[in-house]
Amino acid sequence: MFTPLDPLLHSELRLAVMSLLISAEEAEFPYIKEQTGATAGNLSVQIDKLATAGYIEVEKTFKGKKPCTLCRITPVGLRAFEDYVTALKSYLEVGSK
């Protein structure tokens, strides 16, 4: 009856990261950290999990001499996010009947 929710996206921080990247072409690590209120260490771990799953791609560059980490959602990640939202809506529809 219920569509399983993607356990990778069923984490508040990972879902927040994906939500930010849905609306932006790319986002830098400090921006994501600021928007989510996460610690740098926790955010780094969650970004690694999303990247390992192929949901986001991470590009490490430099701005001058400062390291810069850019994150972008992938087509796989976009599809996973859309599927997650659809599954979540099905839970809400059952609850409202």
Does residue 95 carry a pLDDT above 90? no
Is 5 domain-assigned?
Answer: no
Q: Which pLDDT tens digit goes with each residue over 12-64?
A: 999 999 999 999 989 999 999 999 999 999 999 999 999 999 999 999 999 89
Q: How many domains does the chain have?
A: 1
Q: Is the pTM of this model over 0.85?
A: yes
Domain membership flag for residue 81: yes
Domain-embedded: residue 6: no
In the chain, what is the greatest distance between 2 CA atoms, to the nearest angstrom? 57
Name which of 59, 96, 95, 62 is nearest 74 in CA terms. 59
Q: What DSSP letter does each residue of 6-47 carry, written as one string?
A: -TTTSSHHHHHHHHHHHHSS-EEHHHHHHHHT--HHHHHHHH
Which domain does 74 fall in, by range? 12-95
Do 62 and 51 contact (CB within 8 A), yes or no? no
In a domain, 1, yes or no: no
